Structure 1
Amino acid sequence: MALVKIALGIDLGGTKTAFGLVDAAGQVIDRHEIPTQASAGGEKLARHTAAGAAVLIERARSRNLQVVGIGIGSAGVIGAQGQVITAANVIKGWSGVPLAGIVREETGLPTFAMNDVHAHALGEDWLGAGAGAETSLMVAFGTGVGGGMIIGGQVMKGAHYLAGHVGHFSSPYAQGVPCTCGGEGHLEAVAAGPAIYQRYLKLGGEQSSPDTKDVALRARNGDRLAIEAIEYAARAAGLALGDLANILDPHVLVVSGGVANLGDLWWPIVEAEFKKAALGHAKETVIRRAQLGADAPLLGAVTVIPDFVRK
């Protein structure tokens, strides 16, 4: 019996790494997950990731499935050869690691790597909220704020592979606020999940509150300061989306990330601020919630494996 060809997608984050066997139609047919050894050092982490991949590769072989390649979505700025150019300090020693090369060496399979949010955007463009659109812009509001512009099925990377770092342009809502990148005044500093939590505490909210999820719960129970913290982030997000629509004019704007799950505490304000900021026909830009959840980066990562994806 002929082997069925599949691919292995990997979503490498700061705390966990997810693996999925993906068929050419975009079905995730098997999964695996391991803790990310973020403090182990870059090369050790890359080899640890390869070991996690080997688990699913062996499972595939036992089911008469042939893994034809590996696609990785990883935290950091990822270069053309799948190397980590720069990365935040959440993963120790990650900058400069030849990620794709190490996984290729350990598994013997063609391996490709890209930024994790780029992978997320490609997944939504293939089978999610951006499917069928000539161009789509995905913006993710989560632990950080990132994005990816898709044009004709290809992610825009830019001259220095920095395209999509939409969390790091200036926001009037963030003047003087330190950002995780070391700068200040950036969108991420006020619109990301941790920023909502920090603003709640700064406003004088309950200091025993542990995280943003708790702030959201308090907002739903009528806590005025929690509501104010979320609304502030939503106004910053809506303005930013309007500005991005003016600059990039995508056919579809896809919004993703855990902050978007705040629902009616967040969305109506984002949409109202978007309408205020967008110019002319940009106000008509279709805005959609991301549809694929945690599968999006797994699916997007395998789209760069040559001649694999069926669209």
Structure 2
Amino acid sequence: MADTKRVVALDIGGTKIASALVTLVPGERPRVDAVGKVPTEAKRGGAVVLERAIESVRRVIEETGAAIDGIGVSSAGVIDPRTGDVTYANEIMPGWGGTHLGAELEAAFGVQARVMNDVHAHALGEARWGAGLGKSSCLVVAVGTGIGGAFVNAGSILLGAHNEAGHIGHVCCTDAVGVPCSCGATGHLEPIAAGPGIIDRYLELGGSELTPSGDPVDGAYIDRLAAAGDEAAIAAEARSGHAIGEVLGSMCNMFDPDCVILSGSVAQCGPAWHDAMARGWNESVMPPVAKTPVVSGSLGGDAPLVGAAENVVSSGYAEFA
């Protein structure tokens, strides 16, 4: 078909780089093929990450033999989608900030490359082809090792004057009063509600640092303990869930989305977390938006790849459409 577009999509995170060929046909769900993953090796510096990103694009082209129409990138860090530059990245990806990612990919492959923040890409994929399909607007929140978000209205992401809109992990909440955040502020959602915050709280409450098999505790182990009635595990998950619910309710008061799409590993926790989230929600949400549905993402790991590819053929930002 003449309107079919084939885009190499990359999802660059602190741990791994995922790559795939995404085929976009108007009116049809995007097809994701030739998915591959390689370690990011972020600690080796931004130049190494860039090299591995270029290698990932080359792998997809060579494996599929496709003539590609562009490269779509989902990347950790603060991204200027106007230029494709990584304007800021934290200590998880040293040297990644300042990378001219879009320009480097265009120079290497001779096709257009568009870059967006990883949570924005995830949100765009879910809004256009996942749990938000058919909705006029949605607030997308991913809760895992960190917490990110994006507000999507009429298929376009709210970007903000400094490319920072959607940083819901850095909204204040009552459960986090006095708790320092990695950004330098205090009282933010992320340090208490993301996965590491749950582990920290469990240990503060007297939980063991090791599982019976001698492995370091992780979120999945704490969730199993909570299901079995362990009080420290229940309290750790409850603080996270309550904080998430409080902030989601507040954000719905402000944005009034058609739905909230919740994804990420922490959102897979059991009743201790979800019951607390419901309590936090009910305490903060206003009556007109109290029935806003909170649903799970449906695209899984394909969401940022689909979103990054969509951004190449139909900009994810209204101001660039």
- How many angstroms does 1:52 deviate by? 1.2
Match of 2:157 in 1: 155
Whichever residue aligns with residue 16 of structure 2, its letter is K
Give the count of matched residue pairs.
Answer: 306
Match of 2:78 in 1: 77
- Secondary structure in 2 matching 1:238: helix
1:296 aligns with 2:300: no
- Give the conservation status (yes or no) of the 8 Å contact 1:148–1:155: yes
Task: In structure 1, list runs of 5 or more residues that go unmatched.
Answer: none
- Give the conservation status (yes or no) of the 8 Å contact 1:38–1:45: yes
Q: Structure 1 CA distance, aligned partners of 2:72 and 2:37?
A: 15
- Give the conservation status (yes or no) of the 8 Å contact 1:74–1:114: yes
- Give the conservation status (yes or no) of the 8 Å contact 1:47–1:102: no
- Give the conservation status (yes or no) of the 8 Å contact 1:144–1:192: yes
- Secondary structure in 1 matching 2:209: coil
Give runs of aligned pairs for residues 22-37 of structure 1, distance below 5 A: 22-24=22-24, 25-37=29-41
- Give the conservation status (yes or no) of the 8 Å contact 1:78–1:161: yes
Q: Structure 2 CA distance, aligned partners of 1:166 and 1:104?
A: 32
- How many angstroms does 1:308 deviate by? 9.8
Structure 1 window deviating more from structure 2 (128-137 vs 273-282): it is 273-282
1:39 aligns with 2:40: no
Q: Equivalent of 1:230, from 224, 237, 261?
A: 237
1:207 aligns with 2:214: no
- How many angstroms does 1:140 deviate by? 0.9
- Give the conservation status (yes or no) of the 8 Å contact 2:227–2:270: no
- Give the conservation status (yes or no) of the 8 Å contact 1:60–1:67: no
1:182 aligns with 2:184: yes
- Secondary structure in 2 matching 1:109: coil
Q: Could you say if the C-alpha distance between residues 3 and 254 of structure 1 is closer, same or farther in structure 2, counting changes exceeding 3 Å?
A: closer
Q: Structure 2 CA distance, aligned partners of 1:263 and 1:301?
A: 31
- Once the two structures are superposed, residues 13-62 of structure 1 have per-residue CA deviations (whole angstroms, 9 ceiling, x without a partner) of 0010101111113111221111002022213311221111100011221x
Q: Structure 2 CA distance, aligned partners of 1:104 and 1:292?
A: 28
Give runs of aligned pairs for residues 130-141 of structure 1, distance below 5 A: 130-141=132-143
Q: Could you say if the C-alpha distance between residues 166 and 308 of structure 1 is closer, same or farther in structure 2, counting changes exceeding 3 Å?
A: closer
- Once the two structures are superposed, residues 237-272 of structure 1 have per-residue CA deviations (whole angstroms, 9 ceiling, x without a partner) of 100000000011111111111100113232232123
Whichever residue aligns with residue 20 of structure 1, its letter is A
Q: Equivalent of 2:166, from 164, 167, 170?
A: 164
Match of 2:52 in 1: 48
- Secondary structure in 2 matching 1:59: helix
- Once the two structures are superposed, residues 188-237 of structure 1 have per-residue CA deviations (whole angstroms, 9 ceiling, x without a partner) of 01110110000000111113252222211221222111011001110001
TM-score (norm 2): 0.91
Whichever residue aligns with residue 7 of structure 2, its letter is A
Match of 1:192 in 2: 194
- Give the conservation status (yes or no) of the 8 Å contact 2:222–2:233: yes
- Give the conservation status (yes or no) of the 8 Å contact 1:100–1:112: yes
Whichever residue aligns with residue 31 of structure 2, its letter is Q
Task: In structure 2, list runs of 5 or more residues that go unmatched.
Answer: 317-321
Give runs of aligned pairs for residues 234-273 of structure 1, distance below 5 A: 234-273=241-280
Tell me the percent identity: 39
- Give the conservation status (yes or no) of the 8 Å contact 2:177–2:187: yes
- Secondary structure in 2 matching 1:138: strand
Whichever residue aligns with residue 296 of structure 2, its letter is R
Q: Report the RMSD for the aligned CA atoms in angstroms.
A: 1.9
Whichever residue aligns with residue 68 of structure 1, its letter is D
- Secondary structure in 2 matching 1:270: helix
Structure 1 window deviating more from structure 2 (46-55 vs 100-109): it is 100-109
Q: Structure 2 CA distance, aligned partners of 1:190 and 1:177?
A: 8
Whichever residue aligns with residue 285 of structure 1, its letter is T
- How many angstroms does 1:172 deviate by? 1.2
Match of 1:173 in 2: 175
Match of 2:319 in 1: none
TM-score (norm 1): 0.94
Q: Structure 1 CA distance, aligned partners of 2:186 and 2:104?
A: 35
